[in-house]
């Protein structure tokens, strides 16, 4: 679809949701749903970047997901390392930087090795694919605050100089605010995702499970985003009803 007459967000955040339910409704194992989800991550993200979006954050695995069965957690960890090569290949071809947001403590050596290699191989590119893995919004804010305390105690930062702009430097990744947040599967909650970054984002909650959320579904999200009036706390003087 031609985006020339549409508003194109600079930063899209995507909560990948519904993989397990997609599989269950088809009589498949949850692992098959996660596999199909990762296939779609590659396909959809490539399309998103081709439409002029500069930043994409994808919520792949939360800190809370460790509460799932050990078998499912182990499968997801292995799936990440196995599918990262596919993501790396297209990011290298399309010159997209891959970064990871999340706590790295507790991740296996294999997962960490994969993360570090991909970050290093793509570090010189401009567009950014932010993969949120072992991520939690509360954890990110707590970890950022700890870094600030350390810098204040060491004399690197004067506490009076701390503001909303430089606070973001202490987050896992210093990226622009999210413009559009999409959560698939019909669930209408943030689930602890990018709490600092989505303060003025537009939200879009399609009922489609993520494995079926294709290019046409994303186009619908952009059409809806184009209709929105982003006021950032101000007033639209053509409509003062609110």
Domain boundaries, the chain: 11-136+176-227
Contact 106, 135 (CB under 8 A): no
pLDDT in tens, 66-109: 888 888 888 888 888 888 888 889 999 999 999 999 999 878 88
pLDDT in tens, 18-62: 999 999 999 999 999 999 999 999 999 999 999 999 999 999 989
Q: What is the DSSP letter of 196?
A: T
Choose, from 10, 54, 65, 192, the residue flagged as catalytic: 65
Q: How confident is the model at residue 64 (pLDDT cuts 50, 70, 90)?
A: confident
Q: How confident is the model at residue 235 (pLDDT cuts 50, 70, 90)?
A: low
Residue with tokens 């804010």: 141
Among candidates 67, 124, 133, 137, which has minimal Cα distance to 96?
124
Distances (CA, A) of 16 to 20, 57, 190, 230: 11, 10, 11, 24
List strand residue ranges (DSSP E) for the chain, in order. 11-15, 55-62, 96-101, 127-135, 180-183, 202-204
pLDDT for 142: 98
Higher pLDDT, 175 or 235: 175
CATH H-level superfamily of 11-136+176-227: Decaprenyl diphosphate synthase-like (3.40.1180.10)
Q: How confident is the model at residue 236 (pLDDT cuts 50, 70, 90)?
A: low
Tokens coding 37: 């989800």
Judge whether 89 is annotated as a binding position. Answer: no
Judge whether 184 is annotated as a binding position. Answer: no
pLDDT for 73: 85
pLDDT for 108: 84
pLDDT for 231: 80
Judge whether 138 is annotated as a binding position. Answer: no
Least confident of 101-110, 171-180, 189-198: 101-110
Tokens coding 61: 């695995």
Judge whether 124 is annotated as a binding position. Answer: no
pLDDT value at 241 more than 60: no
65 is catalytic: yes
Give every CB contact of residue 43 below 8 A, 6+ residues apart in sequence. Answer: 214
17 is catalytic: yes
pLDDT for 106: 78
Judge whether 28 is annotated as a binding position. Answer: no
Higher pLDDT, 167 or 240: 167
Strand partners, 127: 96
Instruction: State the chain's maximal CA–CA distance in angstroms.
Output: 59
Tokens coding 177: 């605010």
pLDDT value at 8 more than 80: yes
DSSP line for 59-80:
EEEEGGGGGS-HHHHHHHHHHH
Number of helical (H) and strand (E) elements in the chain, helices listed first: 7, 6
Q: How confident is the model at residue 239 (pLDDT cuts 50, 70, 90)?
A: low
pLDDT in tens, 106-146: 788 888 888 899 999 999 999 999 999 999 999 999 999 99
pLDDT value at 188 more than 90: yes
Judge whether 104 is annotated as a binding position. Answer: no
Judge whether 196 is annotated as a binding position. Answer: no
User: How far apart are the C-alpha atoms of 242 and 224, rounded to whole Å?
Assistant: 20
């Amino acid at each position: 679809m031609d985006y020339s007459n549409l508003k194109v967000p600079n930063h899209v955040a995507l909560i990948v949701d519904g993989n397990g339910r997609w599989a269950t409704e088809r009589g498949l194992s949850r692992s098959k749903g996660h596999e199909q989800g990762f296939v779609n991550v590659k396909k959809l993200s490539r399309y998103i970047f081709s439409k002029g979006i500069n930043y994409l954050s994808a919520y792949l695995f939360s800190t809370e997901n460790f509460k799932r069965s050990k078998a499912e957690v182990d499968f997801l960890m292995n799936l990440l390392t196995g599918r990262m090569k596919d993501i790396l290949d297209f990011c290298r071809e399309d010159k997209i930087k891959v970064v990871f947001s999340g706590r790295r403590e507790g991740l296996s050596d294999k997962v960490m090795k994969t993360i570090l290699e991909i970050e290093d191989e793509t570090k010189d590119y401009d567009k950014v694919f932010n993969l949120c893995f072992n991520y939690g919004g509360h954890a990110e804010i707590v970890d950022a605050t700890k870094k600030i305390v350390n810098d204040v105690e060491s004399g690197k930062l004067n506490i009076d100089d701390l503001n909303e702009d430089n606070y973001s430097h202490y987050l896992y990744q210093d990226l622009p605010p999210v413009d559009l947040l999409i959560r698939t599967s019909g669930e209408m909650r943030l689930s602890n995702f990018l709490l600092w970054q989505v303060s003025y984002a537009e939200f879009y909650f399609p009922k489609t499970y993520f494995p079926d959320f294709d290019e046409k579904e994303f186009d619908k999200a952009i059409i809806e985003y184009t209709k929105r009036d982003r006021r950032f706390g101000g007033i639209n003087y053509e409509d003062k009803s609110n």
